[in-house]
Structure 1
């Protein structure tokens, strides 16, 4: 992977980590009306599990999202992509729960009150929301983000990277390896 691609990938990772944080805060404050709290375990307004999940989606499903699977005139590829997004994001969430439990003694969510759930770690309704979110990302947000990165240009991307990477790494070191 070239340096330019790595920088763009890191900026995408941070953008989706931030959007994931916004999504979680929105759910907590507007939907569930629990009030604001900083979601996640890091200081910054980002949830790396969302960034990792989206990079995985882009790596595994970007090509699929551009193909067609026709039955007559009906393109079924979006259905296949949706199901693949659900499987991948649910796997990431499950893995994150085990990693957090290993590192901190617990994980940050609890789905035990949901009807279709497994060990409180994953649940069907969250997986469906992640599936819909993945579709919005693959077919809408990622093309916009790529155009934005092109608009920024290589020099501004490098500048953002040089500012944000050390801050993110410092946050990670403090909260992950020093806990």
Structure 2
């Protein structure tokens, strides 16, 4: 979707809906991964709703900043790894500083940086970002464009309102606990 202007006035609703779609896909991915790993359901995110905005933000950043490189997939793959690695590292750092908790810790993983990012995770983001940019995003854009504008607007507004409410509630009382976060010494 190299020629799709994600930030234009005509496409901003689509971009907002893509953010929520990828936030939900990330939530599903983490939920399924944890079910296989721990044999139980756990909402792994900071928020209480069915979304992990780090995935939505990461994918929107990929689409907005890196779609120029779609003709060079290997370079795009490397740039996705760098971009998502920076995003994951900074998100981990900020959550830890704000709430004195870690929502993930890769300290036992191969080639990790301060337990905030690791080689396997970055490879996953690289592969996932390429798959999403080249295959899932074009499909979602077509599906989203099939909705009437008024329906897209209503859906985006409802999701934004729910997301704001979730963020306000989670800032006061974040989703945490056993298998979700660990305390960090101050």
Unmatched 5+ residue regions in structure 2? 1-6, 174-186
Q: Identify which of 7, 12, 15 aligns with 2:13.
A: 7
Change (3 A) 1:135 1:2: closer
CA positional deviation for 1:107: 2.3
Which of 117, 127, 130 is residue 132 of structure 1 equivalent to? 127
Match of 1:35 among 31, 35, 40: 40
Matched, 1:156 2:159: no
Aligned to 1:90: 85
Q: Normalized per residue, which structure has more helix?
A: 1
**Residue 6 of structure 1: CA displacement?**
2.7
Contact residue 82 and residue 131 of structure 1 kept, 8 A: yes
Identify the residue that residue 28 of structure 2 maps to in structure 1. 22
1:58 aligns with one of 59, 63, 68 = 63
Kindly provide the CA deviation profile for residues 22-74 of structure 1, in whole angstroms up to 9, marking residues without a partner as x.
Answer: 111111112x2342101102111100111111110001111211x2xxxxxxx
C-alpha deviation, 1:167, in angstroms: 0.9
Cα distance, 1:2 vs structure 2: 5.1
Task: Give the TM-score normalised by structure 2.
Answer: 0.85
Q: Report how many residues are paired.
A: 167
Distance 1:138 1:163 in 2: 25
**TM-score (normalizing by structure 1):** 0.88
Q: Tell me the alpha carbon deviations over residues 120-177 of structure 1, each in whole angstroms, 9 at most, x when there is no partner.
A: 111000000110000101110010111011111311101101221111111111112x
CA contact (8 A) 1:4 1:154 kept: no
RMSD across aligned C-alpha pairs, in angstroms? 1.4
Partner of 1:112: 107
Contact 2:112 2:119 in 1 (8 A): yes
Other structure's SS at 1:114 match: coil
Q: Which residue is equivalent to 2:184?
A: none
Q: Which residue of 1 aligns with 2:167?
A: 172
Q: Secondary structure at the match of 1:115?
A: coil
